[in-house]
Amino acid sequence: MSTLSKLYPSALWENFANICAIPHPSKHEAKLLAWLKDWAKQNNIDYQQDKIGNLIFRKPATPGMENRVPIILQGHIDMVPQANSDKKHDFTKDPIEPRICEDGWVRANGTTLGADNGIGGAAAMAILTAKDIQHGPIEVLLTIDEETGMTGAFGLEKGILKGDILINLDSETEGELYVGCAGGLDAVITLNYKDVPTPAGMKGYNITITGLKGGHSGMDIILGRANANKVITRLLAAATDKFGIRLASINGGSLRNAIPREATAIVTVPENKEKEFQNFCDNFYTEIKNEFSAVEPDFVLKVTAIDTPTKVMCSDCHKNIINIVFAMPNGVMRMSNSMENLVETSTNLAIVQSGNGKVEIISLLRSSVDSAKEAVGQKMAAIAQIAGADIELSGAYPGWKPNMESPILKTAMTVYKDKFGKTPEIKAIHAGLECGLFGVNYPHWDMVSFGPTICHPHSPDERVNIESVGKFWDFLVAVLANCPVKK
């Protein structure tokens, strides 16, 4: 038994501990899928795996509940792999190390925790094995590869699921019911460059940005955190004008759906301007530290002398690359007019990577308004065209339009108020829940999403509130016991 199993509810936390013990980053879920199938066999639970790899479990209604509308509980099994720079962790081989903290939260040891969406999956598993709760017919859908492209949701077969109500367990604030989400679009800009011999009289330097908080590129974008790619490019642009530095390489960020926390660039600086350059970097560090003091207290800039690289990018290529990264939109583009404090449209300049004569710039665009999302894509295409770069816009997925007359929403609101004495908040989320995609093949589904309180998913600061998990579980059980009767 895991130490987590002493928490309430025990079955949910034990399931979560088992999930943490099995590596399952996006596109590497095979071990967890195999374990889940063995788990289903051991517990005599009916299951099937569809063509894309999603797992579907089924449990009949408890006695007297056969007349209830069939419900689908849904989550995803993959997690975002992010670790602190001083943490050596192979997400394809090493288990997550969850720990119970004295402040009432569960965290991992230097990595993402995977509560997004391991807690949701663990809750669905606990429902499947529970002997003491009431519910109608249940299907559990656990999708693959949600975090890097929603592959499982895109590939879900039409008609394979029989339920009429879907409860998504992938929201991250207890006491809130979600009825809508943003759609997304990937933008990949490719820019070629030529290497040339490093001019004489130049000295090599390695510039690194670390210590930024990063976070979920949808939910945390409103917090105004610094983007490592933007910060380092800002430095490079100013240093190019002041000192004539030359760029050998630039790399930052690692995941399209995580705000980049770290970036690095190798540059050359004229030897007669080294001291001025170092003073400039010190002043730049102070400037950025002050600018983001409220949100990035641990920001670190290091400028280290290294062996001078033998080649650098040609001067025009250097300027073109810096200009296009500098010009690319990033952050909140527009707030919603229909829901207070909801981001409508945003972009995350997630990854910049150079090598072999090519730079790739990868952004994730999000919006709850499809036309606004497309307009930002067109803006990026225009910037790419001006820079002479290629751009590919792909992976588009729709948002989930709120239905305030939803029967399951009304049921959930009533149950929550009866159980906890207050009305839950009704919200949409600036993130890509799979509900928008499900609506394509299952337009009749009545959907709602809720979950426990999870802070800073997609970063090593991820944590889940223990008390909120207990409330989330009690609420889920009560909703299932009060699900609507078939008409």
399 phi, psi to nearest 5 deg: -80, 180
- Using N-to-C axis directions, what is the helix angle for 315-327 and 228-243, rounded to 10°? 140
Count of residues for the chain? 487
340 phi, psi to nearest 5 deg: -65, 135
Alpha-carbon distances, residue 149 vs 171, 185, 251, 429, 431 (angstroms) = 18, 10, 22, 18, 13
Among residues 78, 164, 262, 434, the one annotated as catalytic is 78
Count the neighbouring beta carbons within 10 Å of the beta carbon of residue 36.
24
Distance in Å from the first CA to the final CA of the chain: 44
The token duo for 92 is 């394809």
Sign of torsion over alpha carbons 49, 50, 56, 57: negative
Q: What is the dihedral of CA 412, 456, 149, 88, to 10 degrees?
A: -140
Alpha-carbon distances, residue 158 vs 127, 177, 326, 437 (angstroms) = 25, 26, 43, 12
Catalytic residue check, 390: no
Catalytic residue check, 78: yes
The DSSP call for residue 59 is E
Q: What is the b/e burial string over 289-316, where b = at least 16 CB atoms within 10 angstroms of the residue's CB? A: eeebeeebeebebebeeeebbeebbeee
Among residues 14, 29, 116, 146, the one annotated as catalytic is 146
Q: Supply the Cα-derived Rg of the chain in whole angstroms.
A: 24
DSSP string, 388-417: T-EEEEEEEE--B---TT-HHHHHHHHHHH
Contacts of 118 (CB under 8 A, 6+ apart): 16, 19, 20, 77, 79
| Omega prior to 109 cis, within 30 of 0 | no
Q: Under a CB-based contact definition with an 8 Å cutoff, are residues 26 and 145 in contact?
A: yes
Measured CA to CA, the distance from residue 288 to residue 156 in angstroms comes to: 45
Residues classed as catalytic: 78, 146
